């Protein structure tokens, strides 16, 4: 009998040890038996041009830049920017298995092929295209629109083509999801037709980074040249868009009448663009098609600048030009009108067929993106303002919840995750977002955190659920049960939550904490406390 | 206790002083809807102050631009007058629109400005202008009234946020260059307890967690901008304030459930009414500034019906706020401002709406060091613009100078922005006609 018992204990120990080995040591890496070094795919010239501009700014302002950040810090930025979450422990092990020289380039490519990239970037871009409201009932399908946008991003559809679909597409909102850009503005209580003024405002902000909607009600009263007529003539390009039983179609010849602020009566407003008029085709296609061709004309640079600035902001938390949708129409880096990086990024984007994935690779490869937010010398607000040190920016609510969920799982939560995990995560996400506060369309404001957010993180349900004793789901419990010793437990917890290893001082403190018997808590609760602290610190809630 | 001081600060919830206050007051808490702590604080403030000065502001913010013609400045029978009638008030010569009968009764407590002008006709820009006294400047963000108050005036003994925004809109009150720590605490319908206040683990574990957090914060600060925590993330400060709130009796001020139904009814059974009632409780507890937003004034179509509905919500809540503050003897210490970003056009558009009109609109001030029962000017009955030369014309910045002056804040002094640029508290001049004699 005792032989049986010993055999059972030995077997169980063996099983547990192999489980621990599987969970805590580098996971099996299927993707790369013999890593192929990722080549630069011809972005070196553009990268050098961008880096030169930043270096000039640092020299001119006598700023010593921060050193390059370590790979895990950069990888965390890239994950947050492209997937809205931090890397999993599994991904960290995978990343660290790569040769150092191509680790970052490989990581970007890896994530660009991950469905999470399409979904997250589509969600962020859709805010500019269709807003954050639910929109009109039935004729606007937000979910369908975002999924379609995600498909386009995954397929790396050229951005000019994608934009032309948004502006000029016809058909039903379900079969031709691009038309939701139009149907999102349908006035269901009034005309039951698309709202040309809202469309003009959206178009200029989202695709041209110009706030022409300021002159919707009156001429520019701030010394600018724009007139109220500029806005409404642009809006007139949408006048033929009609809502019908076959979806959105163009009713050729339909006029747009409007009474200007100081006009005596309504006038028929012609369709005209507010600048670069020479790029507008005189005829051919529908009004919306002509507008779409003008917006995406390679010489109409505000179009490319707008998306460069927005993607930079999504990736880093801060746009190159603030606010993200208000870039001067004319200017240059030399004159000081445009910040470092904007023009070379724009030129490269146009020259390479509006390739979004290339632009993302280029941004991630720049010196500015890879600076540390720490240095041995003094860093100031000016360093951050000029990207001489990486700006510390607050994570968006979706990034916070994505990171909580990921940190509480040792394996990557992605499209392959179990359906139950996804369902639970979806429900918790919605509740958390409601409480934490959605940033809405104004998603790049620089406010600090708030008291309700801190209370939610300290005492709310989600952090409790994701750190409490749950061997199946929570990494805190698994780390508590399976770590061979306290050092490994603390190090694993740090990697899971902060994507780095603890410093010596931190290791000493937390190992001491796990050994402390003054506080009545079991080991699982000890690790719950460690995860709680890691999830409640500045480092977790901010991009850095 | 000492080991937690780094993260909690000397006034943190772990401080001995705090526990003593709690222990002393805990037994009495909840006996009446007037919190004993607030009474104690008020008594203490009174005993300590040599000169009685107004100390708080309630901003009733009418987002969208209320029509002066359907509220404080009616012109019945005129082409621009719309469908309202005028009703008498206790103030000789002053008539209000018949949409606001209850407000009319309290106008003897109010100073009404009816020729306010601004240069901003866009919602976002005009809101910024009205809330800060400055026009938008792409190079910096100016602080709102509430942020300046919190910066200038003490809030000793107050354990809850000193600047609160109820139903915050898209352009909520900011600390601007004074720092994000002066941003308003945002909250919504004040029914029930604020969420997420009870801690999830026993006290010893919670304190140990805070101690762990302290180690991590020290680590994160190393090598980074020195002012990162104090000027940008505010993380430690926010945690300290959150933990203080968790154990404070003063959080009862956020909840109006204990207020007698009779009093709740006076404010109207609307979210805005409940917000105003909550604002009076917060002010009583020592909060410096509460902004309560009433949306829905942007009536480009169907003006009369929509403005009348909003005016109805405002009427009950505004009049009840003034009355309750007076009853509680708080009106002398509290300025109540009621206004929006601009007014609406005298001319009614083809959709029966009124459009944006920054050339003559109304703002009402009451309490604090403001004279009672006065009004300045009226808009032109034929609808002409009010210009700065018009008699009784008032600029937005003048309203700010008046409030600061009444609060005892040196409105002419310069702040230094983070890049060392001098910036006056306010650009305007006080409106002497509505300042009470001191």
In this prediction, residue B20 carries a pLDDT of 33
Residues A259 and A171 in one domain: yes
**Which residues on chain B are in Cβ contact (under 8 Å) with A512?**
none
**Which residues on chain A are in Cβ contact (under 8 Å) with B225?**
379-381, 383-384, 389, 392
- Is the predicted ipTM greater than 0.85, yes or no? yes
d(CA B85, CA B99): 8
**Which residues on chain B are in Cβ contact (under 8 Å) with A393?**
none
Least confidently predicted of A65-74, A260-269, A329-338, B275-284: A260-269
**Number of domain units in chain A:** 3
Which of A458, A509, A516 to probe by mutation at the B interface, max B CB count within 10 Å? A458
Residues A156 and A281 in one domain: yes
In this prediction, residue B36 carries a pLDDT of 43
Close Cβ partners of B16 (under 8 Å, ≥ 6 residues apart): B1
- CA B402-B403-B406 angle, to 5 degrees, is 85
Note the pLDDT tens digit of each residue in A229-264: 889 999 999 999 999 888 999 999 899 999 887 778
**Which residues on chain A are in Cβ contact (under 8 Å) with B187?**
452
The closest of A353, A409, A501, A448 to B174, measured between CA atoms, is A448
In this prediction, residue A265 carries a pLDDT of 86
Residues A256 and A182 in one domain: yes
Q: Is the pLDDT of residue A15 over 60?
A: yes
Which of A217, A376, A380 has its CB closest to that of B121? A217
Interface of A with B in 486-505 (CB under 8 A): 503, 505
- Please indicate, yes or no, if residue A121 is contained in any of the structural domains: no
For residues A419-430, give the mean pLDDT: 64
Q: How far is CA A312 from CA A108, A119, A345, B119, B193, in A?
A: 14, 17, 10, 34, 41
Q: Is the pLDDT of residue A494 over 50?
A: yes
Q: Verify cis geometry, omega within 30 degrees of 0, for the bond prior to A323.
A: yes
d(CA B323, CA B321): 5
Longest dimension (CA), chain B: 73
- CA A330-B123-A205 angle, to 5 degrees, is 35
In this prediction, residue A18 carries a pLDDT of 57
**What sign does the dihedral A198-A203-A209-A214 (CA atoms) show?**
negative
Which of B180, B198, B216 has its CB closest to that of A533? B216
Please measure the distance between the N-terminal and C-terminal CA atoms of chain B and give it in whole angstroms: 47
Residues A517 and A501 in one domain: yes
Q: Which residue of B has its CA nearest to A218?
A: B121
Report whether B89 contacts B378 (CB < 8 A): no
The closest of B362, B330, B364 to B434, measured between CA atoms, is B364
Structural domain ending residue among the three candidates A385, A419, A436: A385
- Please indicate, yes or no, if residue A84 is contained in any of the structural domains: yes
Q: Count Cβ–Cβ pairs < 8 Å, chain A vs chain B.
A: 160
In this prediction, residue B175 carries a pLDDT of 86
3-class secondary-structure state, position B110: strand
The closest of A72, A54, A80 to A367, measured between CA atoms, is A54
Say if B413 is an interface residue toward chain A (CB within 8 Å): no
In this prediction, residue B293 carries a pLDDT of 97
- Please indicate, yes or no, if residue A28 is contained in any of the structural domains: no
Determine, for residues A448 and B235 on separate chains, whether the beta-carbon distance falls below 8 Å: yes
- Please indicate, yes or no, if residue A309 is contained in any of the structural domains: no
In CATH, B56-193+250-434 is 3.40.720.10: yes
Residues A237 and A281 in one domain: yes
Residues A421 and A446 in one domain: yes
Residues A176 and A203 in one domain: yes
For residues A111-125, give the mean pLDDT: 95
* Most confidently modeled range among A130-134, A262-266, A530-534: A530-534
Q: How far is CA B34 from CA A492, A530, B38, B193, in A?
A: 51, 41, 7, 16
Structural domain ending residue among the three candidates A265, A295, A325: A295
What are the pLDDT tens digits along chain B (438 aa)?
333 333 333 333 333 333 333 333 333 333 344 444 444 444 444 444 444 544 899 999 999 999 999 999 999 999 999 999 999 999 999 999 999 999 999 999 999 999 999 988 888 889 999 999 999 876 678 999 999 999 998 878 889 999 999 998 777 788 888 877 788 888 889 988 888 888 999 999 999 999 999 999 999 999 999 888 877 888 898 899 899 999 999 999 999 999 999 999 999 999 999 999 999 999 999 999 999 999 999 998 899 999 999 999 999 999 999 999 999 999 999 999 999 999 999 999 888 999 889 999 999 999 999 999 999 999 999 999 998 889 999 999 999 999 999 999 999 999 988 777 889 999 999 999 999 975
pLDDT greater at residue B97 or residue A438: B97
Rounded to the nearest angstrom, the minimum Cα separation between A525 and chain B is: 9
Close Cβ partners of B261 (under 8 Å, ≥ 6 residues apart): none
- CA B214-B216-B217 angle, to 5 degrees, is 65
Q: Which two tokens stand for residue B227?
A: 């002012």
**Which residues on chain B are in Cβ contact (under 8 Å) with A456?**
195-196
Residues A434 and A333 in one domain: no
Say if A442 is an interface residue toward chain B (CB within 8 Å): yes
Residues A370 and A447 in one domain: no
Q: How far is CA B388 from CA A363, A505, B118, B428, in A?
A: 51, 65, 9, 13
The closest of A152, A89, A507, A217 to A357, measured between CA atoms, is A152
**Which residues on chain B are in Cβ contact (under 8 Å) with A521?**
205
Say if B350 is an interface residue toward chain A (CB within 8 Å): yes
Residues A458 and A491 in one domain: yes
**Which residues on chain A are in Cβ contact (under 8 Å) with B349?**
259
Q: Is the pLDDT of residue A93 over 90?
A: yes
**Which residues on chain A are in Cβ contact (under 8 Å) with B194?**
452, 455
For residues A103-129, give the mean pLDDT: 94
- Please indicate, yes or no, if residue A128 is contained in any of the structural domains: no
Structural domain ending residue among the three candidates A368, A385, A402: A385
Residue B47 burial class via C-beta count within 10 angstroms: exposed 0-12, middle 13-18, buried 19 and up: exposed
Which of A435, A519, A536 has its CB closest to that of B204? A519
d(CA B424, CA B289): 20
pLDDT averaged over every residue in chain A: 88
Dihedral (C-alpha) B117, B121, B127, B133: value to the nearest 10 degrees? -40
3-class secondary-structure state, position A257: strand
Interface of A with B in 410-439 (CB under 8 A): 435, 437
**What sign does the dihedral A345-A205-B64-B339 (CA atoms) show?**
positive
Dihedral (C-alpha) B46, B48, B53, B59: value to the nearest 10 degrees? -70
Q: Compute the residue count for chain B.
A: 438
**What sign does the dihedral B261-B267-B271-B275 (CA atoms) show?**
negative
In this prediction, residue A521 carries a pLDDT of 83
Residues A480 and A515 in one domain: yes
Q: Is the pLDDT of residue A162 over 90?
A: yes
In this prediction, residue B212 carries a pLDDT of 96
Task: Residue A426: give the domain boundaries.
Answer: 393-543
Q: Is the pLDDT of residue A438 over 80?
A: no
Close Cβ partners of A199 (under 8 Å, ≥ 6 residues apart): A182, A185, A235, A238, A241
- Please indicate, yes or no, if residue A520 is contained in any of the structural domains: yes
Say if A140 is an interface residue toward chain B (CB within 8 Å): no
Q: Is the pLDDT of residue A71 over 70?
A: yes
Q: Is the pLDDT of residue A424 over 70?
A: no
Please measure the distance between the N-terminal and C-terminal CA atoms of chain A and give it in whole angstroms: 59
d(CA B236, CA A383): 23
Note the pLDDT tens digit of each residue in A450-490: 788 899 999 998 999 999 999 988 999 999 999 999 999 99
Least confidently predicted of A69-73, A217-221, B79-83: A217-221
Residue A96 burial class via C-beta count within 10 angstroms: exposed 0-12, middle 13-18, buried 19 and up: middle
* Per-residue pLDDT band at A16 (split at 50, 70, 90): low
Determine, for residues B216 and A537 on separate chains, whether the beta-carbon distance falls below 8 Å: yes
Sorted by where each begins, the domain ranges of chain B are 56-193+250-434
Residues A373 and A253 in one domain: no
């Amino acid at each position: 009998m005792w032989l049986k018992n010993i055999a059972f204990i030995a077997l169980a120990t063996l099983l547990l040890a192999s489980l621990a080995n599987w969970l805590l040591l580098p996971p099996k890496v299927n993707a790369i038996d013999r890593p192929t070094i990722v080549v630069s795919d011809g972005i070196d010239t553009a990268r050098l041009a961008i880096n030169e501009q930043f270096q000039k700014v640092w020299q001119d302002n006598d700023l010593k830049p921060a050193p390059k950040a370590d790979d895990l810090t950069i990888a965390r930025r890239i994950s947050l920017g492209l997937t809205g979450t931090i890397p999993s422990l599994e991904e960290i092990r995978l990343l660290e298995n790569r040769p150092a020289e191509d680790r970052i380039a490989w990581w970007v490519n890896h994530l660009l092929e991950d469905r999470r990239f399409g979904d997250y970037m589509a969600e962020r871009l859709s805010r500019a295209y269709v807003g954050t409201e639910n929109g009109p009932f039935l004729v606007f399908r937000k979910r369908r629109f975002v999924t379609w946008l995600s498909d386009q991003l995954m397929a790396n559809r050229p951005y000019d083509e994608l934009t032309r679909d948004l502006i000029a597409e016809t058909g039903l909102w379900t079969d031709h999801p691009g038309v939701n850009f139009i149907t999102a503005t349908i006035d269901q209580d009034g005309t039951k037709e698309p709202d040309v003024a809202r469309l003009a405002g959206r178009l200029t902000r989202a695709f041209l980074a110009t706030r022409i909607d300021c002159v919707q009600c009156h001429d520019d009263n701030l010394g600018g040249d724009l007139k109220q007529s500029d806005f409404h003539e642009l809006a007139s390009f949408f006048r033929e868009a009609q809502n019908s039983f076959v979806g959105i179609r163009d009713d050729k010849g339909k006029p747009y009448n409007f009474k200007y602020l100081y006009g005596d009566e309504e006038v028929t407003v012609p369709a005209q663009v507010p600048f670069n008029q020479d790029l507008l085709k005189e005829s051919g296609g529908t009004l919306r098609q002509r507008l779409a061709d003008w917006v995406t004309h390679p010489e109409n640079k505000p179009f490319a600048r707008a998306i460069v600035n927005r993607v930079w902001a999504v990736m880093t938390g801060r746009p190159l030009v603030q606010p993200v949708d208000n870039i001067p129409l004319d200017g240059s880096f030399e004159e000081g009108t445009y910040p470092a990086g904007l023009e070379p990024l724009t030129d490269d984007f146009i020259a390479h067929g509006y390739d979004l994935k290339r632009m993302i690779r280029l941004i991630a490869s720049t010196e500015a993106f890879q600076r540390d937010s720490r240095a041995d010398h003094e860093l100031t607000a000016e360093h951050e303002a000029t990207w001489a040190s990486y700006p510390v920016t607050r994570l968006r609510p979706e990034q916070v919840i994505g990171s909580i969920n990921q940190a509480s799982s040792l394996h990557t939560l992605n499209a392959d995750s179990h359906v139950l995990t996804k369902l639970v995560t979806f429900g918790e996400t919605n509740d958390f977002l409601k409480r934490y506060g959605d940033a809405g369309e104004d998603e790049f404001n620089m406010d600090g955190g708030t008291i309700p957010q801190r209370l939610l993180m300290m005492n709310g349900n989600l952090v409790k659920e994701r750190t409490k004793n749950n061997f199946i789901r929570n990494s805190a419990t698994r780390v508590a049960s399976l770590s061979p010793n306290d050092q490994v437990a603390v190090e694993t917890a740090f990697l899971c939550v902060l994507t780095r290893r603890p410093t010596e001082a931190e290791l000493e403190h937390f190992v001491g904490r796990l050994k402390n018997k003054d506080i009545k808590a079991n080991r699982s609760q000890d690790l719950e406390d460690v995860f709680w602290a890691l999830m409640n610190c500045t480092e977790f809630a901010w991009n850095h | 206790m000492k080991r937690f001081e780094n993260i909690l600060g000397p006034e943190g919830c772990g401080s001995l002083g705090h526990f003593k206050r709690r222990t002393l007051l805990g037994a009495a808490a909840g006996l009446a809807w007037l919190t004993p702590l607030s009474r104690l604080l008020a008594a203490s403030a009174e005993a300590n102050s040599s000169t009685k000065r107004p100390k708080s502001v309630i901003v009733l913010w009418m987002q969208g631009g209320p029509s002066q013609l359907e509220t404080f400045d009616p012109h019945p029978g005129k082409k621009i007058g719309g469908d309202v009638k005028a009703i008498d008030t206790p103030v000789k010569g002053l008539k209000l629109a018949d949409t606001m009968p209850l407000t009319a009764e309290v106008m003897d407590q109010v100073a009404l400005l009816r020729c306010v002008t601004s240069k901003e006709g866009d919602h976002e820009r005009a809101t910024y202008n009205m809330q800060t006294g400055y026009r938008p400047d792409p190079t910096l963000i100016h602080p709102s009234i509430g942020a300046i108050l919190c910066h200038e005036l003490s809030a000793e003994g107050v354990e809850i946020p000193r600047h609160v925004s109820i139903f915050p809109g898209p352009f909520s009150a900011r600390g601007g260059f004074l720092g994000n720590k002066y941003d308003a605490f945002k909250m919504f319908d004040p029914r029930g307890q604020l969420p997420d206040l009870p801690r999830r683990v026993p006290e010893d574990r919670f304190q140990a967690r805070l101690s762990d957090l302290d180690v991590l914060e020290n680590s994160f600060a190393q090598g980074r901008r020195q002012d990162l925590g104090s000027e940008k993330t505010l993380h430690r400060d926010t945690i300290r304030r959150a933990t203080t709130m968790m154990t404070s009796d003063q959080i009862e001020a956020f909840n109006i459930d204990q207020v007698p139904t009779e009093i709740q009814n006076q404010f109207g059974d609307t979210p805005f009414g409940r917000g105003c009632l909550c604002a009076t409780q917060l002010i009583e507890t020592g909060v410096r500034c509460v902004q309560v937003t009433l949306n829905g004034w942007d009536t480009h179509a169907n003006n009369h019906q929509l403005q009348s509905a909003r005016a109805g919500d405002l009427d009950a809540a505004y009049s009840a706020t003034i009355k309750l503050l007076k009853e509680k003897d708080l009106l002398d210490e509290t300025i109540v401002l009621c206004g929006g970003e601009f007014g609406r056009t005298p001319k009614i558009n083809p959709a029966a709406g009124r459009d944006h009109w920054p050339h003559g609109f109304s703002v009402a001030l009451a309490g604090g060091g403001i004279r009672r029962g006065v009004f300045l000017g009226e808009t032109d009955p034929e609808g002409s613009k009010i210009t700065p030369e018009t008699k009784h014309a008032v600029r937005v910045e003048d309203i700010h100078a008046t409030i600061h002056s009444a609060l005892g804040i040196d409105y002419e002094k310069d702040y230094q922005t983070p890049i060392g640029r001098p910036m006056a508290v306010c650009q305007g001049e006080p409106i002497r006609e509505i300042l009470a004699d001191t």
